[in-house]
């Protein structure tokens, strides 16, 4: 596999992982076949420019970032995405269900409440 295919394949898998998305989900969102996604991730196929735009839209990333060196991940993910992935992974490891975006955005009522019994 050449370097460009390697970068694309690695970044597709990595980005899907960070978004906790299956190949089937990505295929559905990008209006591509699951087999095509699998072949992209193994380097067997290379996408057209139209498919690259569909993939980048489904993965919520700029198209050019799919071709970055996968070793330079600091340019690939936002800080919030990394923290979210770490939190979701921690919860999965502990057997907890991941929090919804609404729960995540609500202030913690256990801290800073003036009526706390610990005060």
Write the DSSP assignment of 39-94 as a string of letters: HHHTTS----HHHHHHHHHHTTS-GGGGGS-TT-GGGTS-HHHHHHHHHHHHHHHT
* Residue 66 included in any domain: yes
- Averaged pLDDT for residues 75-91: 76
CATH number (domain holding residue 75):
1.10.260.40
* pLDDT value of residue 9: 96
Calpha distance 94→108 (Å, rounded): 20
The total of structural domains in the chain comes to: 1
> What's the whole-number mean pLDDT along residues 65-71?
88
pTM: 0.64
Range of the domain at 37: 3-94
From the number of C-beta atoms within 10 Å of its C-beta (0-12, 13-18, 19+), residue 3 rates as: exposed
**Confidence label for 75 from pLDDT (cuts 50, 70 and 90):** low
Of 19-23, 48-52, 53-57, 115-119, least confident by mean pLDDT is: 115-119
**116 in a structural domain:** no
């Amino acid at each position: 596999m050449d370097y460009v295919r390697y970068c694309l394949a690695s970044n597709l898998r990595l980005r899907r992982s960070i978004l906790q998305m299956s190949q089937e989900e990505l295929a559905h969102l990008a209006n591509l076949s699951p087999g095509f996604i699998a072949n992209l991730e193994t380097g067997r196929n290379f996408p057209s420019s139209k498919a690259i735009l569909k993939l980048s839209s489904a993965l919520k990333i700029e198209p050019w970032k799919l071709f970055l060196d996968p070793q330079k991940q600091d340019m690939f993910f936002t800080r919030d995405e990394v923290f979210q992935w770490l939190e979701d992974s921690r919860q999965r490891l502990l057997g907890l269900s991941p929090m919804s975006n609404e729960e995540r955005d609500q202030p913690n009522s256990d801290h800073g409440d003036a009526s706390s019994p610990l005060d």
